[in-house]
Amino acid sequence: MNVAEFEALRVFTSEYLQFPPFVSAFNEIDRLVQLYRQTSVAQHLLVTGESGTGKTTLCKALVERYPRATLPERDVVPVLVVPIPPAATIASVAEAMLARLGDPAPTTGTTSAKTARAARLSRACGVELLMFDEANHIQDRGQSPTQYMVGDWLKGLMDDVQVPTVLLGLPRVEDLLRVNEQLRRRFTRRLQMALGQDPDNSIETQCLRLFTSLTPSLPVPFNKGVTTWSELAYRLHAATDGRVAYVKSLLIGAIRLVFEREVSEITLAELETAFTAEIWPQGVGALNPFCPNFDFRRLDRAGEPFERGALVDRPSRRRAHAA
Ligand SMILES: Nc1ncnc2c1ncn2[C@@H]1O[C@H](COP(=O)(O)OP(=O)(O)O)[C@@H](O)[C@H]1O
Ligand SMILES: [Mg+2]
């Protein structure tokens, strides 16, 4: 990768995109913190979205809004993000929380000692917002009692620490709340990260907006050619399922082509190649949303990238492993 390409990618990926569900979720969580600061009332929120809709990025944005500080006598951690480990147990979640709080020996002690320490440290560090990311990992053990126990543990911890708590995860986290009444009562407020909740604009239109908000950061102009805006919107939605991660991957693939092929503009042909390279290797011909003879349908059948409930291996991760 040459310096110019590196710089183009840096510019392209440097800013938070202010797309509507991201902004709503950010503002709502910010409101929870402000409410807590002013009244000590702790309200909670469930944020769901498919993989690549921006949940982890939302956690990062809140950490930046309320950054950590190191005082001479203690660390201040206003926002504590705890990623729930795969196949979560009470011990592993408590350890993850202790590690994030800077506990020097998170694995030491019995489960209840760890839990008590996590609550104590949270108070000592002035935590004002708890964010549990990847909450769907609580369900990875299916119907086993662990799922209930971790849910109950979380409820107990929330009662103990008494700060606003946000649970983030895949849409199936709703099932977890369905079977755990105590948790359900605490998470009556819910938000979805998916595009398509704006009654005034179709999901395709929102997808097109997300795309066009990114095109000014490209190193060369985007040219849609003879394709109409509404057709482009349809193709973009089919290619990305309206998930910010895929809209970005598509354009990152296009940037790579700009440097590889030295093209002076990005057209549907570049997007076609980028879709196959970055999103779905089998997506060629009628299965490629940017191909002239695309099938004009959603790619959500079995084996396709947006199959419902499928665990899609995100392109960015694949490359990170390959590198
Ligand atoms: N608001 C945003 N602005 C810019 N990029 C974003 C935004 N939200 C997500 N992304 C990008 O999309 C990708 C996936 O986001 P992530 O937060 O990991 O999704 P999730 O946690 O829902 O799977 C990341 O590469 C991230 O940089
Ligand atoms: Mg995530």
Measured in Å, residue 149 CA sits from the centre of ligand 1 at 30
Measured in Å, residue 303 CA sits from the centre of ligand 1 at 24
Beta strands 79-83 and 129-133, pairing class: parallel
User: Would the CB of 56 count as within 6 Å of ligand 1?
Assistant: yes
What tokens were used for 239? 């290619």
d(CA 184, CA 129): 19
**Residue 322: predicted pLDDT:** 36
d(CA 219, CA 280): 24
**Residue 88: predicted pLDDT:** 87
Q: How many CB atoms lie within 10 A of CB 68?
A: 13
d(CA 139, CA 86): 9
pLDDT tens-digit map of 54-100: 999 999 999 999 999 999 888 999 999 999 999 888 999 999 999 99
**Residue 314: predicted pLDDT:** 43
Name the closest ligand to CA 313.
1
Domains, the chain, ordered by start: 3-13+200-316 (no CATH), 20-192 (3.40.50.300)
d(CA 135, CA 147): 11
Residue 282 pLDDT > 90? yes
Beta strands 79-83 and 165-169, pairing class: unpaired
Mutate to test the pocket of ligand 1, among 15, 131, 244, 312 (most ligand atoms within 8 A of CB): 244
**Residue 147: predicted pLDDT:** 74
Confidence band, pLDDT 50/70/90 cuts, at residue 321: very low
d(CA 323, CA 321): 5
Measured in Å, residue 169 CA sits from the centre of ligand 2 at 7
Do residues 9 and 255 lie in contact, with contact meaning Cβ atoms separated by under 8 Å? Answer: yes
Measured in Å, residue 57 CA sits from the centre of ligand 2 at 7
**Residue 272: predicted pLDDT:** 98
User: Would the CB of 52 count as within 6 Å of ligand 1?
Assistant: yes
